[in-house]
Chains A and B, each alone.
Chain A
Amino acid sequence: MRWYWIDRFLEFESGKRAKAVKCISLAEDHLHDHFEDYPMIPNSLVIEGLAQTGGLLVCEHGRFEEKVVLAKVPKARFYDVATPGDTLTYTTTVEYIKAEGAMVTGTSHKGDQLHAEVEIVFAHLNDPRMGALFDPDVFLRMMRLLGAFEVGHAADGGPLVPPPRLLQTVESGDHGGS
């Protein structure tokens, strides 16, 4: 199963901010169960999309070497529902990135209208006995599929490029995974 809850990055400012779109379509099978006669995207999947937007921002800041997991959602407020045909724009802003974890705030907009607001805390798992949570090529593929390198900027303002070590790991096939 592919777990993509955003379709494309519109902006990606390393370590600071990312903006992504999610297009909701009746072709998404799960919408027919949520709900049969009134399909709408589940709020939990909006949070997941915002977590992917912000989580990749946090992962990229750590050159994809930290084990970043969604640990907590201190706040999630929804002001409207989103249905097939709607396009949601997710904007996430880094509040902090520390050795132990990170926090982003995020909004979802339907056009100009505020649809949801969230705060998301990520933990950095630092147990050295644990291998990588994801193979490095998963990150590289996800960032490429979502167009992050096409629109992104590095911290110095230059174009966003994959970290050399990530590329080397993927090309050598040595994933060091669990």
Chain B
Amino acid sequence: MPTKDEIFEKIQGALVDALGVDDDEVTPEATLVGDLGAESIDFLDIVFRLEKGFEIKIPRGELFPEDILTDSTYVQDGRVTETGLAELRKRMPFANLDDFEKNPVVQDFGNLLTVADMCRFVESKVEVTD
């Protein structure tokens, strides 16, 4: 069973390999898109490296529920509705949505996920020791 530090180190390695960034750029508060330059294809690559590194399965849309953003039930005029935000909170308990909820523009959603969010996501999928 990995510790939280070990999970962070493994995620750091995965992001260095997938995104070609330096170790010291991968801080807990770094955003995947804005700070580390991840593009949509990188998420496929990152998910694979997490699955392999932690021996877990990550179904499509679990880490990054893009289906919500293309569903007219949840999006109106380029903004995520209250129902959509409730769905995001339910689907992404690992992510801090506080800032996004203040101005839930769909376009900004891509830059939401941080390295710390990703650590919490993995921690929810594996048994963690202290």
Contact segment of B39-47, B72-80, B86-94, B96-104: B39-47
Q: Is A164 an interface residue (CB 8 A)?
A: no
- Kindly state whether residue B17 has any CB partner on chain A within 8 Å: yes
Question: A71 CA to B52 CA in the complex, in Å?
Answer: 20
**Residue from B17, B18, B41 within 8 A of A101 (CB atoms):** B41
- Closest chain B residue to A101, Cβ basis: B44
Residues of A within 8 A of B41 (CB): 71-72, 101, 121, 123
The yes or no answer to B60 lying at the interface (CB within 8 A) is yes
What are 22 sample pairs from A and B whose C-beta atoms fall under 8 A apart?
Answer: A71-B41, A72-B41, A72-B42, A72-B45, A74-B20, A74-B45, A75-B17, A95-B52, A96-B48, A96-B51, A98-B44, A98-B60, A99-B60, A100-B60, A101-B41, A101-B44, A103-B45, A103-B48, A121-B44, A121-B45, A123-B41, A123-B44
CA distance A96 to B42 in the complex (A): 15
User: Which residues of B lie under 8 Å from residue A95 when comparing CB positions?
Assistant: 48, 52
Q: Of all chain A residues, which has the CB nearest B41? A: A71
* Interface residue tally for chain B (C-beta within 8 Å): 11
Nearest opposing residue in chain A for B52, CB measure? A95
The smallest C-beta distance from A129 to any residue of chain B, in angstroms, reads 15
C-alpha spacing A52/B41, complex, angstroms:
19
The residues of B that contact A99 with a CB separation of less than 8 Å are 60
Find out whether the CB atom of A74 lies under 8 angstroms from the CB atom of B48: no
State which residues 38-75 of A face B: CB under 8 Å.
71-72, 74-75
CA distance A174 to B74 in the complex (A): 40
Instruction: Enumerate chain A residues within 8 angstroms of B52, measured Cβ to Cβ.
Output: 95
**Complex: A74 Cα to B37 Cα, angstroms:** 13
